[in-house]
Structure 1
Amino acid sequence: MSAVTSKLREKINIEYTNPGALHPRFRLAVLLLIILILAWSLGSVPVSSQSDVRAVPADFLYQLDPPGQTNGFLRPGAICADPVAHEVLVVDEGHNRIVVFNEEGIYRFEFSVAPYCGSVRDLAVSSDGFVFVIGSTADGVKLFRFDFDGQFLGEVAHPATGDSERVLVSSLGLDSQDRLFLLDGTRHEVIRLNSDLSFDRSFP
């Protein structure tokens, strides 16, 4: 047995130190064989061509906007309830718009105030559906009027109060007779306008 072992040792030039261990050359051969098998397996997988791609027909439903954009409020600033139309109007300062809901919170429509003012401070709705809006502009705070569909009707002139000091309107409200009440932040008084927007009185 030792003579055969010696001949084998001479033939393959091995330093036989551990009969139970694989020779490094044998391990290398096994590793190369595994690599060749893997390469052959990958090469045999067919690559799909453009014609093999299956297209599924789909209909466009709607586009989802990222959170914080038009699908939600961004700095809501004021709210007003319209008991006649049973609607709730919300000022969305971040998007320069007014959003209209029904009394159950279902979205109805919205309209932009961006062409007329930079941001809305307050709003009120008359019984005949006119929406009065206080907005900041480059020329100061102004009072605007829209119809019930959000169509711009024009700017309401500052009321004539008997002096030349500019009226700085910071808030507004309407009573049951559609008289408009404006809070003058300059003189710290309330100005009341008639339903035709003519000056009535100021107090206190």
Structure 2
Amino acid sequence: MAISVLSILLDGLGTAGWGTEEGAYIILVDEVKKLENPSLVAPTNLFLDEVAEEIYVGRGRHIYVFNPTAILLARLDAGAEVTARRLALDSQGTIYTLDWDQNRVWRYDFFGKRLGELKLEGLPPGADPQKVSLAGLALDGQDRLYLLDAGNGYGYRTNPQGVIQQAIGEGKLRDYSDLDVSRDGGLLAFLSFEEGRVRTYRPSGELVAEFGRRTGSSGGFSQPVAVRLGPDKKVFVLDRNRATLLVFAPEGEFLGELGWGFGLPNDLRIDSRYHLLVADALANRLWSIKVSFQERKRRPAPSLAPGDEGGKETMGTMGSSGSSGGPGPLGQSSLPEPWPGKEEVVPKRE
């Protein structure tokens, strides 16, 4: 039985912070699992390989690979000089990791052998090579690579060698902190942590929308840390301070939000069936949440007395946020024994 956000909050798994805006959809939670493993220490940087059904987690110099029940399959060493901050995997099994401390993108094969560094070439006119500051990385379903240059304010689509083929943003993405691309490459989303703003673009560089506001109420951002696109291009923003997922249409319409007692959510991934994977750095676990969407029925406008110019639609409010809840060198496994994973299905209340 699916349960709504309101049910979640009233069940005590989150604290209701009543807002003033109602989304166009009710987000239904069909299934929730807690994934735990001793290696999931403050998990942050995620990638979900839907084909192989594997979960990649970057932490420090290591990349951890888990199965869907959190059993550790491999611990890959990216190198002493590498800090794996952002992860992506192409259809051939090539692993991309962005180390923003060093402003570099490294590539590894499926078994963990380092293939080299991606060298960014062909900056747009006016962009300063000394100001390049890589802050985000994503791949679309055709293995096209996208990078966010927060220093110059651009998003780039590059070939596998790092040659820029398209520059997006016209310098307006300075200090932006994350990006994602739809599977078909038809929509890009960029997030600014500092400004609490999202900008969506077509691959041609045409701006679709700019939206977002700093507020603790429904539909607003407090500390937005990740932006992800769903299979039908819904825009998901993970807010760390509010411990909430906010959902928007590509044009910026607020659709709804979800709080599930996240402790300190730091990253988010979404598969083609709307399974959400949320990294909870405080609880040292991953949340696997299956959601669906139900369009909210709008109340009919009240009848007007003669002479009235118009009426105002009255809507209720929706619960907003959840509160704190609770293989050697890359490719050569050095694990003494496989560490067991723990998968716990969170029961629903009827």
Query: Does the alignment reach a TM-score above 0.5?
Result: yes
Q: Look at both structures and tell me which one has the larger radius of gyration over its CA atoms.
A: 1
C-alpha contact (below 8 Å) 1:77/1:120 kept by paired residues: no
TM-superposed CA distance for 1:164, in Å, is: 4.4
Tell me how far apart the structure 1 counterparts of residues 64 and 90 of structure 2 sit (CA, whole Å).
17
Aligned partner of 1:150 among 112, 115, 118: 112
**Aligned partner (choices 77, 82, 86) of residue 122 of structure 1:** 86
1:160, distance to aligned residue in structure 2 (A): 2.0
Question: In the TM superposition, what is the alpha-carbon distance from 1:187 to its structure 2 partner?
Answer: 1.6
RMSD: 2.1
| 1:102 to partner: Cα distance | 1.6
**Runs of 5+ in structure 1 lacking a partner?**
1-69
Choose from 134, 151, 158 the match for 2:98.
Answer: 134
Tell me the amino acid that sits aligned with residue 115 of structure 2. Answer: L
Q: Does 2:146 match 1:181?
A: yes
Aligned partner letter, 2:70: G
Structure 1 range deviating more: 150-159 or 73-82: 73-82
Name the structure, 1 or 2, with higher relative contact order (CA <8 Å, separation 6+): 2
What's the counterpart of residue 161 of structure 1?
Answer: 123
Secondary structure of 2:84's counterpart equals: strand
State the match for 1:15 in structure 2. Answer: none
- Tell me what 2:70 maps to: 105
2:293 alignment counterpart: none
Q: Do the aligned residues in 2 keep the contact of 1:145 with 1:152 (CA within 8 Å)? A: yes
Correspondence 1:19-58 to 2 at 5 A: none
Partners of 1:146 and 1:179 lie apart in 2 by 16
142 and 196 in structure 1: CA distance in 2 versus 1, 3 angstrom threshold: closer
Higher alpha-carbon deviation: 164-173 or 141-150: 164-173
TM-score, reference length from structure 1? 0.57
Are residue 190 (structure 1) and residue 169 (structure 2) matched? no
Superimposed CA distance per residue, residues 10-61 of structure 1 (whole angstroms, 9 cap, x where no aligned partner): xxxxxxxxxxxxxxxxxxxxxxxxxxxxxxxxxxxxxxxxxxxxxxxxxxxx
Query: Is contact 2:120-2:164 (8 Å) kept?
Result: no
Is the 8 Å Cα contact of residues 77 and 122 (structure 1) preserved in structure 2?
no
Whole-Å separation in 2 of the counterparts to 1:126 and 1:195: 10
Please state how far the C-alpha of 1:103 moved relative to its aligned partner: 2.3
Please, what TM-score do these two structures have when normalized by structure 2?
A: 0.35
Please give the alpha-carbon distance, in whole angstroms, between the structure 2 residues aligned to 1:197 and 1:141. Answer: 13
More helix by share: 1
Return the offset for 1:171: 1.0
Task: Quote the offset at 1:76 in angstroms.
Answer: 2.5
Distance 1:85 1:159, change over 3 A: farther
CA-to-aligned-CA distance 1:60-84 (integer Å, 9 cap, x gap)? xxxxxxxxxx942344321000122
User: Aligned residues, how many?
Assistant: 130
Q: Which runs of 5+ in 2 are unaligned?
A: 1-36, 170-350
Question: Is the alpha carbon distance of 1:154 and 1:196 closer, same or farther for their aligned partners in structure 2, counting shifts above 3 Å?
Answer: closer
